[in-house]
Structure 1
Amino acid sequence: MFESAELGQKIDDATFSKEVVKLRDALLQAQYELLEKKSFALVVLVNGVEGAGKGDAVNVLNAWLDPRHVKSHTFGAPTEDEAQRPHMWRFWQALPPKGEIGILFNNWYTDPISCRLRGDIDAGELATDIEQIRQMERMLIDEQSPVLKLWFHLSKKAQGKRLETLEKNKLTAWRVTEEDWKTHKQYDRLRKVSERVLRETSTGEAPWIVIDGSDDNYRSVTVGRAVLNSLRRGLEQADAVERAKRRHAKTTNGKAKGVMAPLVQTVDTTRILTDLPFKERLSKEKYATKIEEVQGRLNKLSRSRHMRDHSVVVVFEGMDAAGKGGAIRRVTQALDARYYGVIPIAAPTDEEKAHPYLWRFWRHIPRRRQFVIYDRSWYGRVLVERVEGFAEEAAWTRAYTEINEFEEELVEAGIVIVKLWLAITKEEQLKRFKSREKTPFKQYKITPDDWRNRKRWDDYTEAASDMIDRTSTSSAPWTVIEANDKQLARVKVIETICDRLEASF
């Protein structure tokens, strides 16, 4: 895979000077068009062998592009805060918004290759890391964040010569470390591991571009052309998508608006939410005793030594007026305020819309020993966005897989996920809506949107049933709680959290 990058490709200075003038102008034009349209974000991954000019290439890009709209991130060993979270968390924080270019140096490829080189992981674990990377990049591409992957290469002989030259020069000797020479001695093994990783992650949507790093001029021009091609291709694809949307809107003439796209079903999944013991009740006397009991149990578990290796994500979903807020308050009453956060999810902000869908949820993933409670969550894509047509059918149908992969990644990092759907009947919802209208301090809870959503009760029930059916996994199962009786529901919510914690410990 590296043979073509060991041919000693060169560009003479005269040719380089002529090429650079045209290339820089084209790059800036494409960059400003991206900035104006904000149709996608370009993620540039920089990897390769030591001494191949990775840093110099990044400096060239910053010089040739408008650096105000290029964000470069270099990743070293994880900080204490980063090490407390899933491996991919820190990379999600660095993803650029639409309209900008993000350069990630020593990115999600560095650790798997380095760990395999040191023998810290075996071939099977490397395969798992590779699959996780493929999932990440597929999701980014689907979310309008194309990935340009650059591998800077030198032959073993050329690398040794480059390190010696740098080391002999007083002005550049600082660039060469003992670790560089140590890595050079392992060149053959590094090449073998890297070749496998590149081969298995080079896809049609995100192929690797292997660049001969032996000649500065050739390397710079090749990098510039690669970025320019990615920008132009991204702009062309975005324009094509926009034209298709306009044609579709003209063809349908608005007739499909408000019609929820169905999934092909072989069974009626809505019984998940309808065949429940809604008439079950818990008396006030029993509730007073039971709530104290389960809150004490949760408090004890939250202080367990096992929490040193875990964090907790609790997801609350349910129809409007299902009692999510009241249940959340009973949960937090049992926790130390220093160790939990409640994240209410509303319509995405402009900043959130400019990033991949899951970005705003990754931001709040807790470090160990912490609880994060989501009042509504990433499931909005397959609920409200599906029902109201805010997301295209292709986006919400693939979201089931993206969500399952996201949650699996969290679980593998030691995060306990508790997913709760609070189910009420349509009659109970109407009763609560009317109560809110009549109670002054509750009137803020009822809005015109609530009444409008109620008219689509059946659509939301179908969407929620499909969601539970497709995303309830052994590692992150859904628990459906009958919530017509608020007191019973609050007790069952805390019991479920406790049960999940005990099972994970």
Structure 2
Amino acid sequence: MFQSAEIGHQLSKTAYREAVPTLRAALLDAQVELFEQHKTPVVVLISGQDGAGKGETINTLYEWMDPRFISTLAFSQPSDEERERPPMWRYWRSLPPKGRVGIFAGSWYSDPIRERIEGDISVKELDARAQQINRFEEMLVDEGALVLKFWFHLTKEGQKQRLKALSSDPRTAWRVTQWNWDRLKTYDQLQDVARHLLRVTNTAAAPWVVVEGTDDRYRCMTVGQVLLKAMQNKLAAKEAPHTPMAPMVRVDLDGRNVLSALDLTLTLADKPYKDELAKWQGRLSELVRDERFKSRSLVCAFEGADAAGKGGAIRRIAAALDARQYQVTPVAAPTDEEKAQPHLWRFWRNLPRHGHVAIFDRTWYGRVLVERVEGFCSEADWLRGYSEINDFEHELIDAGVIVVKFWLQISQAEQLKRFKEREQVEFKRFKITQEDWRNREKWHDYQQAICDMVERTSTGEARWTLVEANDKNFARVKILRTLCERLEAVLQDQPNPEREAAVKSDKAKVKKAKKQSESHKPKAASAKIQA
């Protein structure tokens, strides 16, 4: 893939000076129009070999364009905060909003390349990471983003000469460290890994542009022109009508489904409820203070019909936790800031660190529930939402996050009873709105959407727990018990540092006592008779 980048491209000073004013003016015009339309974010990845001019090119783009509408994101080794979250967390947080340009110096490609060179992952694992990246970039494009990926290439001798030139110039010597020289030794390995990764991630949605990095003028002009043309094409393009991205879910001909099969008559009397509540709250408190939980985190996702009792269930969970250990995130209609980002962005930014709990009161499933039923997004958007949500949850689980999802189901009659109660009780009136009454008219549409959601997103370690919630006592205890059982199942498969340390200490004490005992034993008399 690097063949075309090795032919020695050069651009004369004269040609460069003549072309720059026109290019700069056009870039600024495109930038302003992009900002005014406020519908497209531009994601620019600048990658390649050390010394290939990544930093110089970014500085040139800042010079040519309006810096108010650009942000540069530089990524190196992850911080402690970043290590305690899924690998993609830091990139999601840094995505540019609609109307702006985000330049990534170092990106989601950096870690897989480094890990493969160092032998930490196999080719098979590298390919799995590549497929994950492909789906992520496809999601960005489906959400309206323009994704441009540049790889700056140098020959081995060219890289060596570039590093020498930078080192010898006092103005640029600071850019070259021993680490850069050490990286030169892995040039051939980088070439092999990069060739493979670029090939499998060179997709129609986000193709790679390989640019020779030897000549500064040629490199900067090429990037500037590619960026300009891509922005102009995006601005000129009319939005094509969306087509469904997945087949529709089957219709339940006999009227039975995962919701109708629930026994909503299940109840729990007050006395056993209090006992069970105390039991499971105590157990939950122990589990989140367990030494093994310090290397994990917990995400609780709550969905349910209006007035199903999500808030009450969440309060019973929170009562068992240290207030410094958990965060409840209520999810409503997206803000203007959130609308300027991909759908999942606002959930990525609220993921917990190790040893912490994130409780979402309504979740990312709004895309396939309320947005689907109310027509807030296109059919193609909510249909692709299932796979995007599954990818999201898979990334959480793969990073050690424990994901527990609850759907609270009540009957129409019970919902009506609770709605009327809310209207009559002064401190509950804020909970009932005209929108709640209007949603009752679409009860059957929501039931179908819920069944589709459960069928398509109840996967492996991120399965749904359906809660019979007509009786609040029964629902709250079932939720707490399920949460504890899931935590126990995960933690029991994980080493316990405290227990291992105690066992090690006990063994050391036994060994020491044995040694002392042996040292105090009388020595056996010698059978040898002295002459």
TM range (shorter): over 0.9
Partner of 2:432: 446
Question: In the aligned structure 2, how far is the partner of 1:240 from the partner of 1:295?
Answer: 52
The letter for the 2-side match of 1:34 is: L
Partner of 1:299: 285
The letter for the 2-side match of 1:48 is: G
The letter for the 2-side match of 1:319 is: A
Question: Structure 1, residues 9-58: CA drift from partner, whole Å, max 9, x if none?
Answer: 01101111111111111111111110000111000011000111000000
**8 Å contact from structure 2 (residues 249, 452) kept in 1:** no
Alignment of 1:132-211 (within 5 A): 132-211=132-211
Partner of 2:87: 87
Question: In the aligned structure 2, how far is the partner of 1:274 from the partner of 1:172?
Answer: 70
Alignment of 1:415-430 (within 5 A): 415-430=401-416
**8 Å contact from structure 1 (residues 34, 40) kept in 2:** yes
Find out whether 1:338 has 2:337 as its counterpart.
Answer: no
The letter for the 1-side match of 2:118 is: R
Q: Which moved more, 1:168-177 or 1:434-443?
A: 168-177
Find out whether 1:117 has 2:117 as its counterpart.
Answer: yes
**TM-score (normalised: structure 1):** 0.95
1:482 deviates by: 0.2
Question: In the aligned structure 2, how far is the partner of 1:295 from the partner of 1:240?
Answer: 52
Question: Structure 1, residues 390-446: CA drift from partner, whole Å, max 9, x if none?
Answer: 010000000000000100000000000000000000000000001111111111111
Find out whether 1:263 has 2:253 as its counterpart.
Answer: no
Question: Structure 1, residues 285-318: CA drift from partner, whole Å, max 9, x if none?
Answer: 1111110011001111111111122100000000
Q: Which moved more, 1:88-97 or 1:276-285?
A: 276-285
Partner of 2:274: 288
Candidates 366, 391, 416, aligned match of 2:377: 391
Question: In the aligned structure 2, how far is the partner of 1:402 from the partner of 1:262?
Answer: 15
**8 Å contact from structure 1 (residues 270, 465) kept in 2:** no
Question: In the aligned structure 2, how far is the partner of 1:4 from the partner of 1:447?
Answer: 63
Question: In the aligned structure 1, how far is the partner of 2:396 from the partner of 2:423?
Answer: 40
Question: In the aligned structure 2, how far is the partner of 1:205 from the partner of 1:233?
Answer: 14
1:235 deviates by: 1.3
Question: In the aligned structure 2, how far is the partner of 1:388 from the partner of 1:169?
Answer: 62
SS of the aligned residue for 2:130 comes to: helix
What is the total number of aligned residue pairs between the two structures? 488
SS of the aligned residue for 1:337 comes to: coil
Partner of 1:41: 41
**TM-score (normalised: structure 2):** 0.90
SS of the aligned residue for 2:224 comes to: helix
Question: In the aligned structure 1, how far is the partner of 2:256 from the partner of 2:142?
Answer: 29
Q: What percent identity do the matched residue pairs reach?
A: 50
SS of the aligned residue for 1:272 comes to: coil
Question: Structure 1, residues 135-162: CA drift from partner, whole Å, max 9, x if none?
Answer: 1111111111121000011111111111
Change (3 A) 1:422 1:329: same
1:236 deviates by: 2.4
1:117 deviates by: 0.8
Partner of 1:255: none
The letter for the 2-side match of 1:130 is: A
SS of the aligned residue for 1:335 comes to: coil
Q: Which runs of 5+ in 2 are unaligned?
A: 492-531
**8 Å contact from structure 1 (residues 37, 99) kept in 2:** yes
Alignment of 1:487-498 (within 5 A): 487-498=473-484
CA RMSD of aligned residues (A): 1.5
Partner of 2:507: none
Question: In the aligned structure 2, how far is the partner of 1:378 from the partner of 1:230?
Answer: 31
1:172 deviates by: 2.1
Partner of 2:297: 311
Question: In the aligned structure 1, how far is the partner of 2:395 from the partner of 2:6?
Answer: 37
Partner of 2:239: 240
Partner of 1:479: 465
Question: In the aligned structure 1, how far is the partner of 2:111 from the partner of 2:392?
Answer: 19
Question: In the aligned structure 2, how far is the partner of 1:172 from the partner of 1:94?
Answer: 28
**8 Å contact from structure 2 (residues 37, 99) kept in 1:** yes
Find out whether 1:364 has 2:350 as its counterpart.
Answer: yes
1:264 deviates by: 4.0
Q: Which runs of 5+ in 1 are unaligned?
A: 249-260
Partner of 1:257: none
